[in-house]
């Protein structure tokens, strides 16, 4: 009998969880653009798709970046929950090494630094993108 690896269940769970939040963030970002923007672009002869691509989405993208950054950083931290379904991730690997080496403080400190490096570098990258889009 064919068995699905636990990793795929973890990926699917995180994808559905994050996808729902990202969809809501994008929907709210698009709805935050004043209706007059869409009406003005339609009065200039643009189709609905052209209006979305050239007028609405560029404005919405600037508003969407900060909450998306927070959601993706949260997803990195939420990935530690995958250890519950036997996927080896950073927290689970640290727990396994702590039981064999009996050095919990040092290992959890390294784990915390790794999470800090991941989230901080991703945050700086998104801050760079945010500054770049706002300067345009």
Is the pLDDT confidence value at 48 over 70?
Answer: yes
Nearest one of 53, 72, 52 to 130, comparing CA atoms: 72
Grouping H, G, I as helix, E, B as strand and the rest as coil, residue 87 is coil
Q: Give the fold, CATH level 3, of 6-134.
A: MetI-like fold (1.10.3720)
Which pLDDT belongs to residue 58? Answer: 92
Digit-coded pLDDT (tens) for 94-129: 888 989 988 889 999 998 898 899 889 998 998 898
Model's pTM, two decimal places? Answer: 0.73
Which pLDDT belongs to residue 85? Answer: 66
Is the pLDDT confidence value at 87 over 70?
Answer: no
Which pLDDT belongs to residue 96? Answer: 87
Which pLDDT belongs to residue 53? Answer: 94
- Domain limits of the chain? 6-134
* CB-CB contact of 107 with 97 (8 Å): yes
Burial class (CB in 10 A: 0-12, 13-18, 19+), 60: buried
The H or E element containing residue 6 is helix 6-31
What are the residue ranges of helices labelled H in 32-103? 35-43, 48-51, 57-78, 90-101
Digit-coded pLDDT (tens) for 61-83: 989 999 998 999 888 888 877 76
- Cβ neighbours of residue 64 closer than 8 Å, sequence gap 6 or more: 25, 26, 29
Average pLDDT score over residue span 50-58: 94
Average pLDDT score over residue span 9-18: 88
CA angle in degrees (0–180, nearest 5) for 74-77-80: 140
């Amino acid at each position: 009998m064919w068995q699905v690896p636990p990793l795929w269940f973890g990926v699917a769970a995180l994808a559905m969880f994050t996808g729902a939040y990202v969809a809501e963030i994008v929907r709210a970002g698009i709805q935050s653009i004043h209706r007059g923007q869409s009406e003005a672009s339609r009065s200039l002869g643009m189709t609905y798709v052209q209006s979305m691509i050239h007028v609405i989405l560029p404005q919405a993208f600037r508003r969407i970046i900060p909450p998306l950054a927070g959601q993706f950083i949260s997803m990195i931290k939420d990935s530690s929950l995958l250890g519950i379904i036997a996927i080896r991730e950073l927290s689970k690997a640290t727990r396994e090494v702590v039981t064999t080496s009996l050095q919990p403080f040092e290992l959890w400190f390294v784990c915390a630094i790794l999470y800090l490096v991941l989230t901080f570098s991703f945050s700086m990258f998104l801050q760079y993108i945010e500054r770049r889009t706002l300067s345009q």
